[in-house]
Amino acid sequence: LTDKEIPHRTKTTRLVFEAWDQYYVELKAALRASIGRISFTADIWSSKGLNAYLAITAHWL
């Protein structure tokens, strides 16, 4: 790739946020349309370097 083919960091940031915004709208619609209950699970842990992590998953029908 040449430098001209790689988008600037501000454009990349904007594109990531736009993609997230669109995904979030679609996710909310899917959750609202679900016919059953929504189940959430969470896992919390820390690394040896004391970095904290949180994972959340949702399952629905």
* Side-chain half-sphere exposure of 36, counting CA atoms within 13 A: 7
CA distance 19 to 25: 10
Query: What is the pLDDT at residue 60?
Result: 86
Query: What is the pLDDT at residue 55?
Result: 98
Angle at 60 between CA 56 and CA 61, to 5 degrees: 165
pTM above 0.75, yes or no: no
Query: What is the pLDDT at residue 34?
Result: 86
Domain boundaries, the chain: 3-59
The predicted-structure confidence for 5-61, as pLDDT tens digits, reads as follows: 899 999 999 999 999 999 999 999 988 888 888 899 999 999 999 999 999 999 987
